[in-house]
Amino acid sequence: MIKLEDFVEAIQEAILDANDALVTHSLDSLADFFEQEGGERPATGDALQVEIDNALKATETVLNEDKKLTRKALEDAKTAMGKVQKRLQSGNGAEIESLTGTLSPKMVTVKYPCHTDNDVQFKEVHVPLITLVPIEHSQLDEVKLKMELGFHLVDDQVHVNFDVGEKNRESSSDGGNKRQAVAELEITMRPSEGPAGLKYLIEGYEKMLRAQLPS
């Protein structure tokens, strides 16, 4: 058994930290559309990716274990998220710092048809790749955790028990200072949306592209 408040806090931290890890992963994907001046691809950081994968796997384990959920699973998830958080906050995050320098958009040259009075001519148009490829934003929008829990009152504090069998489901005890009731707990979380900077950036490149096209 663990305290109800500890259980809710662990789930909340795991979900919010997983969302942060997904946002960081989306940031790394920008390396597909930008390059360092000089033609080098920004480093994405294999070590950070490993930590993110471990954190997401631990969170998935917590959310999928249902009634078999244990304190160890919660602690493993919290530990994995903590490692990601420390790596992001540390001064050794050279993997992400490479994206803070001067970047140039990766471009392709496309021949665009221009109609004249006599025929059709082709004009070279410089197109940023980021305007051609849809970018998937990975973000947790809503998480619902629904499971059967045994609720115990111990010394005026609510504890939860994950081993809820038919015997406990059909009976309850009123003796002493321990009482159990079976209930379903549903937690809904909607993390706030990130900044709209990427949207504005893409819109700017689209305007640049439209300016090259004949009216």
Q: What is the pLDDT of residue 177?
A: 47
32-41, 72-81, 145-154, 180-189: which has the minimum mean pLDDT? 180-189
- pLDDT tens readout for residues 193-215: 555 787 888 889 999 999 988 87
Mean pLDDT of 12-30: 74
Provide mean pLDDT across the span 60-74: 61
E-assigned strand segments in the chain: 2-3, 34-36, 103-105, 107-115, 120-128, 143-154, 157-161, 180-189
pTM here is 0.43
* Burial of 32: CB neighbours in 10 Å, binned 0-12, 13-18, 19+: middle
Query: For residues 130 and 61, which has the higher predicted lDDT (pLDDT)?
Result: 130
Structure-token pair, residue 101: 């320098």
Q: How confident is the model over 43-59, as pLDDT tens digits? A: 445 556 666 677 667 66
Q: pLDDT at residue 38 above 80?
A: no
Residue-level pLDDT at 175: 46
pLDDT of res. 152: 78
- What are the φ/ψ torsions at residue 118 (nearest 5 degrees)? -105, -35
Q: Which residue has the higher pLDDT, 10 or 186?
A: 10
| Per-residue pLDDT reduced to its tens digit, 125-147 | 999 998 888 776 656 666 677 77
The pair of structure tokens assigned to 96 is 């992400």
Confidence of residue 109 (pLDDT cuts 50, 70, 90): very high
